[in-house]
Amino acid sequence: MGQVVCNCVNPGEDQYYKDDRTTDNSNAKALARFKTQLKSGVSVVKFSASLPPSKITIVMRSTGRTEELVFEGADPADQECSTRPLTNFKIRRATDPDPDVKHFAGTKVLRDNIDPRDAMKAFIFEVKDTTAGVKLNINVQAESENDAEKMIIGFRLLFAEAKKAQGRE
């Protein structure tokens, strides 16, 4: 009689609550895979208020002490896509609230350019342009929701690592 009939009462150690070291190890592996992918680049469609949608490739390049994002295939006139260090970037989903218009999601550019059913494929790079002292948004859409999810997680880990490394210098 004293047998456990259902494992839901005593689910076992660490089934619901992962150890922080396990999570850190998992994040490190995901980040390493994403960095490898970024060396050859990830393809997205970029949307702009003043230019037609264009397919670009986002590549990470190392310039000695800093790592930068390069937007290959972007229109040369597109100032949003100039090369910048990783520490200048943040990322958010197109389904997250618009910081400028709280009762809408994404950005005006995305709302004007994509079907709402495709919002899970889109995300926004928020860029701190230190030369002009302004915040820019780079609006992009991945091929699929799965690709977008992997990119969002990868970029979040990448930007967090860059900011952490900058704090150590």
pTM of the model: 0.81
pLDDT score recorded for residue 76: 87
Integer Cα distance of 143 and 43 in angstroms: 8
CA distance 75 to 97: 28
What are the distances in angstroms from CA 167 to CA 31, 67, 135? Answer: 19, 15, 21
What is the Cα–Cα distance from 11 to 159, expressed in whole angstroms? Answer: 35
56 C-beta neighbours (distance < 10 Å), count: 22
Q: How high is the pLDDT of residue 13?
A: 45
Could you say which residues of the chain have pLDDT below 70? 1-24, 130-132, 168-169
Which pLDDT score, from 0 to 100, does residue 132 have? 67
What pLDDT score was predicted for residue 129?
Answer: 72
Question: pLDDT value at position 27?
Answer: 85
Q: Please give the Cα distance from 108 to 105 (Å, whole number).
A: 9
The Cβ-side half-sphere exposure at 96, using a 13 Å CA radius, reads 12
> For residue 15, what pLDDT is reported?
44
Give the sheet arrangement for strand 134-141, strand by strand: 84-85, 66-72, 54-63, 42-47, 134-141, 122-129, 89-93
Best CA proximity match to 55, nearest among 41, 69, 72: 72
